[in-house]
A and B are shown apart, each in its own frame.
Chain A
Amino acid sequence: MSYKMNTEQENMLRNIGIVDFVTIEMTEYLDTHPFDREAMEYFNHYMRMKNQMMHDYAVKFGPLSLSVADTCGKEWKWALQPMPWEGGC
């Protein structure tokens, strides 16, 4: 089955999903290998990448997490935007 990603928003979301998956798997590896420096660098690399992507997404389409839900706008977008099962991301 192929998933067509057409819009910029869908593309950005998909890429966040990919990078986030890497960080989740690396977390679990690092839990049991806490002194693996190479793995830590790998984790840091993808975590920084994810943070940047979450920030870029928030600027364009609204926050996906509270850490990027800035309050400089006039409204609190976090609660206003739909949940994934309500037609959101």
Chain B
Amino acid sequence: MWNYEKRLQFPVKITQPNAKLAQVIISQFGGPDGELAASMRYLSQRYTMPYNEVAGLLTDIGREAPEMFHLRGLRFF
């Protein structure tokens, strides 16, 4: 069901690694209010969505939200 592309959505070049900043970013990704949690909510709520077009939208957002953030952020670690 899932496919991925081997590229970043936006080019990121880390010239100076920053552990403190990485800590903040990783919590935005995997933390309690992070992208992963949001993504799982989109993807599980889509099953009970009574309107097909909105279920489709939830699926697309659920797969896109972490991708956007995640691939952008990963370079920081």
**Chain A residues with a Cβ under 8 A of chain B:** 3, 5, 10, 13-14, 16-17, 20-21, 24, 27-28, 31-32, 34, 63-66, 78, 81, 83-85, 88-89
Contact = CB atoms under 8 A, between A and B. Distances in A.
Contacts, number: 59
Interface string B3-45: 1111111111100000000000000000000000000000000
A5 B60 CA distance: 30
A27 B74 CA distance: 25
A84 B6 contact: yes
Nearest to B71: A84
Interface of B: 3-13, 53-54, 56-57, 60-61, 64, 71, 74-75, 77
Contacts of B54: 31-32
19 contacts: A10-B11, A13-B11, A14-B11, A16-B7, A17-B8, A17-B10, A17-B11, A20-B5, A28-B61, A28-B64, A31-B60, A32-B53, A32-B54, A63-B6, A64-B7, A78-B6, A83-B6, A84-B6, A89-B11
Contacts of A83: 6
Contacts of B64: 24, 28
A3 to B, nearest CB: 6
Sorted nearest first, the 8 A-B pairs with minimum C-beta distance are A31-B57, A89-B7, A31-B56, A85-B74, A65-B5, A84-B8, A64-B7, A64-B6
B10 A64 contact: no
A32 B6 CA distance: 29
